[in-house]
Amino acid sequence: MGELDPTFIQELEHRPKPVVIEAQGIPEIDISAFVTSSPTNPNAQGIRDLVDQIRDACKDWGFFQVINHGVPIETREKVFSASKRFFDQSVEEKRKVKRDEVNPLGYYDTEHTKNVRDWKEVFDFVVDVPTMIPASHESDNDETTELHNQWPHHPSDLRDACEEYVKDLQKLSYKLLELISLSLNLPANRLKPFFKDPTTFVRLNHYPPCLAPDLALGVGRHKDAGALTILAQDDVGGLEVKRKTDGEWIFVKPTPNAFIVNVGDIIQVWSNDAYESVEHRVRLNSTRERFSIPFFMNPAHYTVVEPLAELTNKQNPAKYKGYNWGKFFATRKYSNFKKLEVENIQIYHFKKPEEQRIDDVVSRVANVVI
């Protein structure tokens, strides 16, 4: 990536701090009781304890790590190994599968988060082929389009490794979705129908060493727009999560073979703010490259995302107007390409007016306090 181009430089207030604060408290949850028992009795004591841990983690952090999750270590190692061999190639080779305005899948090395360039390169693929999405972000255009993956010729085992990984991750993602449903006092299968025609995708991330890790970020601060993210990271580490209690950036220490799970904006809206999609970012390393693999679990494009009726009532009315997931996502993608000078579309824009006013007051107060 060469010398540090000014497009990578973060505003002073968003630069990583020289002192790394390690996570004290992002819960590590052993989900073996739920993975192995099938069919599951949600009232069994072991499952109830597990569900309580998930609820506390979602409320306190929006993030947790899972261990004993049932994904074989070999499946994970194969995809990390193939990913490294893919990114080790020349830029010319990688650009043979470059994403563009027609196909948003494949290789990309100029992604921006909040209009600042990320110090990373990525390779994206969808899990359901073809994946249907809206042809345009414009609300008056109802056409859809099919997404197909672009697999590189080299390394030749990348595709198999990714497809095998996805099979296991899909199983895990449904288990986690059930646990989250139970933790919201919903039936285990309440959320599953939203994922009938999923727009789930996987990203292979490569963060090369950066000579100015104090100025740039691997990924700038952001919230994940989808339902649930399940992230595998290597032993280098770099993910930082914004602690809800004081807004401090907390480094998530890598736990070998664990997955980091976070609730995205869609679960925030479904839960009517009972759970919050928390900001996170990636700090860089001056000597070591880093690899990570997020699995972004997303519903069908035609899903209207709105607070679930069971989770709202007179005392706790819906805080959001419904929005179309496919259009939301397409608007995000479109503005990424255009690099708009305005704020990107956020779920905040769908808050009902009275809720917006409350949030404005809260954030003004919070700004004064911090």
DSSP characters over 265-298? HHHHHHTTTSS-PPPEEE---SS--EEEEEEEE-
Q: How far apart are CA 337 and CA 111, in angstroms?
A: 9
Q: Which does 239 bind (CB under 5 to 8 A by kind): ligand AKG, Fe ion, none?
A: ligand AKG
Give yes or no for residue 239 binding ligand AKG (CB under 6 A): yes
Give yes or no for residue 203 binding ligand AKG (CB under 6 A): yes
Q: In the numeric block, which tokens belong to residue 94?
A: 């990688």
Q: Which does 134 bind (CB under 5 to 8 A by kind): Fe ion, ligand AKG, none?
A: none
Residues that bind Fe ion (CB under 5 A): 224
Q: Any idea what DSSP says for residue 27?
A: -
How many angstroms separate the Cα of 175 from the Cα of each of 4, 62, 196, 207? 42, 17, 15, 30
Q: Please report, as a single letter, which amino acid is at residue 365.
A: V
Q: How far apart are CA 239 and CA 237, in angstroms?
A: 6
Question: Residues touching ligand AKG: how many (CB under 6 A)?
Answer: 12
SS3 109: coil
Give yes or no for residue 294 binding ligand AKG (CB under 6 A): yes
Give yes or no for residue 280 binding ligand AKG (CB under 6 A): yes
The nearest distance, CB 1 to Fe ion, in angstroms, is 20
Interface positions, 328-357, toward ligand AKG (CB under 6 A):
none
Q: How far apart are CA 316 and CA 308, in angstroms?
A: 12
Q: Among 40, 83, 233, 298, which residue sits at the site for ligand AKG (rule: CB under 6 A)?
A: 233
From first CA to last CA, the distance across the chain in angstroms is 36
Q: Which is nearer to Fe ion, 224 or 234 (CB)?
A: 224
Q: How many CA atoms lie within 13 A of 156 on its CB side?
A: 0
Give yes or no for residue 231 binding ligand AKG (CB under 6 A): yes
Closest C-alpha among 237, 244, 247 to residue 283: 237
Give yes or no for residue 240 binding ligand AKG (CB under 6 A): no
Q: Which is nearer to ligand AKG, 47 or 225 (CB)?
A: 225
Q: Which is nearer to ligand AKG, 268 or 272 (CB)?
A: 268
Stretch that binds ligand AKG, among 167-175, 193-201, 232-240, 308-316 (CB under 6 A): 232-240
Q: How far apart are CA 328 and CA 338, in angstroms?
A: 16
What value, to the nearest 5°, has the Cα angle with vertex 116 and ends 121 and 222?
Answer: 80
Q: Which does 76 bind (CB under 5 to 8 A by kind): Fe ion, ligand AKG, none?
A: none
Q: Which is nearer to Fe ion, 194 or 295 (CB)?
A: 295
Stretch that binds ligand AKG, among 25-33, 40-48, 71-79, 233-241 (CB under 6 A): 233-241
Q: How far apart are CA 267 and CA 191, in angstroms?
A: 10
User: What is the C-alpha radius of gyration for the chain, rounded to an integer number of angstroms?
Assistant: 20
The nearest distance, CB 18 to ligand AKG, in angstroms, is 20
The nearest distance, CB 167 to ligand AKG, in angstroms, is 21
Q: Which does 282 bind (CB under 5 to 8 A by kind): Fe ion, ligand AKG, none?
A: ligand AKG
The nearest distance, CB 319 to ligand AKG, in angstroms, is 24
Q: Which does 243 bind (CB under 5 to 8 A by kind): ligand AKG, Fe ion, none?
A: none
Residues that bind ligand AKG (CB under 6 A): 203, 205, 219, 224, 231, 233, 238-239, 280, 282, 292, 294
